[in-house]
Amino acid sequence: MILNTSTWQRPTLADEHEIQTRVGAMLNDIRERGDIAITEYSERFDRFAPEIIELKPFVDYQLAPALAEAIKLAATRIERFAKKQRDSLTEMQFSDEFGEYGQRLLPIENMAAYIPGGRFPLISTALMTLIPARIAGCVSRVALSPSDHPALLAAASLAGATKFVRIGGAQAIAAAAYGCEWLSRVDMIVGPGNAYVAEAKAQLQSRVRIDTVAGPSEVLILADGKQNVAWLLEDAIAQAEHGPDALAVVASNGRQWLQMFEQSLQKNESARALAERQQIQLVFAETKADLIEFANRFGAEHLMLCHEGIGVETIRHAGAVFIGARSPVALGDYLSGPNHTLPTVASARRSSGLSVLDFLRVQTVQTIRNGSVLYQAAAEIAEAEGLQHHARSLRLRMP
């Protein structure tokens, strides 16, 4: 079924109240009982106790040559992009008749990256979360994961993890946020995870900095009537395979092309099943302007811009934009260079994907040498605000 941009609505996610309650109780328990509670939850949910794994040099993991070369290529490209980002940021200093002022860029010292487990090692997550932290200058870079797959350990080693802890779930986030006997409290936690991991990050963000509260993965594909249907259909299926709540929306102002796409979808068993679960949706826009408006209202995590009549400058709300059909999201997921940790569920309207910037802090500095005029003006404001000792602090410095 082809929907219309004017009536389309984002699917409603399941009520997370139960998850919020469960995670809240876990965090309270861990805060009160510390390491004992962390170990109990790990053994209950993951069937093993937390374990610190000593990382070896990348070459010592003896991965298959093709995989090893692919991981090194990915790391090189992610690191290059991160360095370019860091180089684009500058410290600043200026002076006037009263003194000197400026800003310094300082790294967050201690961070942790959560890397989900599962049947297969999430190599790319290790690279995408740890490399920018290293380039930013974070001193302590802890990898947290329930997986001990050799490929994951190798990737974490190559990315620059200073410690690897085999631990999963909300208890891993709590351990990093509160600290415990085997892990000092960190200043920032990044990385994706299931609903329990996301909720733990959300509830702990008042005491530790986080990247984002990740929701289901999504892609919006904007297409004109000239695109290769088979390519974009596979791109939609690829996005939907992230999980049962993942969403792929294909939108176009070309009705005939959308109908061709729908016919191909119906012939593909995987795509048809995903469409029946509303994980692949087709949306028609009456005009190009309607298509642009829809894209900015959607605020997609990933936006594939496969429309020659729409320029990237018109896209204001998207976590990452992939321009042209030869720029698939799957490439960005692994090694094109920009980070794949992106805002989901329309949060791209107000936030950005993970980058070197997230691991930096701005510290302002000022040196006042001849401030009489400034002291007088500031004292006037202080008195107007009823803060007499502020005013006195200033007036004492006046000649």
Boundaries of every domain in the chain: 17-210, 216-352, 370-399
Q: Is 42 labeled as ligand-binding?
A: no
The catalytic position among 262, 302, 307, 340 is: 302
CA distance readout (Å), 277 to 260, 272, 280, 281, 291:
20, 9, 8, 9, 24
Q: Is 217 labeled as ligand-binding?
A: yes
Assigned fold of 17-210 = Rossmann fold (3.40.50)
**Token pair belonging to 362:** 């701005």
Q: How far apart are CA 393 and CA 146, in angstroms?
A: 55
Q: How many CA atoms lie within 13 A of 241 on its CB side?
A: 10
Architecture per CATH, domain 216-352, reads as 3-Layer(aba) Sandwich (3.40)
CB 41 within 8 A of CB 171: yes
The catalytic position among 79, 199, 301, 307 is: 301
Q: What is the value of pTM for the model shown?
A: 0.94
Dihedral pair phi/psi, residue 145, rounded to 5°: -160, 145
Full pLDDT tens readout for the chain, 399 residues: 888 888 898 887 767 789 999 999 999 999 999 999 999 999 999 999 999 999 999 999 999 999 999 999 999 999 999 999 999 999 999 999 999 999 999 999 999 999 999 888 999 999 999 999 999 999 999 999 999 999 999 999 999 999 999 999 999 999 999 999 999 999 999 999 999 999 999 999 999 999 988 888 999 999 998 999 999 999 999 999 888 899 999 999 999 999 999 999 999 999 999 999 999 999 999 999 999 999 999 999 999 999 999 999 999 999 999 999 999 999 999 999 999 999 998 888 899 999 999 999 999 999 999 999 999 999 999 999 999 999 999 999 998
301 is catalytic: yes
Domains 17-210 and 216-352 share a fold: yes
Q: Is 340 labeled as ligand-binding?
A: no
Q: Is 114 labeled as ligand-binding?
A: yes
Q: Helices 123-136 and 150-159, interaxial angle, to 10°?
A: 20
CA torsion sign for 44, 48, 49, 51 is negative
Q: Is 228 labeled as ligand-binding?
A: no
Closest alpha carbon to 337 in 151, 122, 133, 82:
82
Q: Is 385 labeled as ligand-binding?
A: yes
Q: Is 262 labeled as ligand-binding?
A: no
Q: Is 302 labeled as ligand-binding?
A: yes
Three-state SS for 305? strand
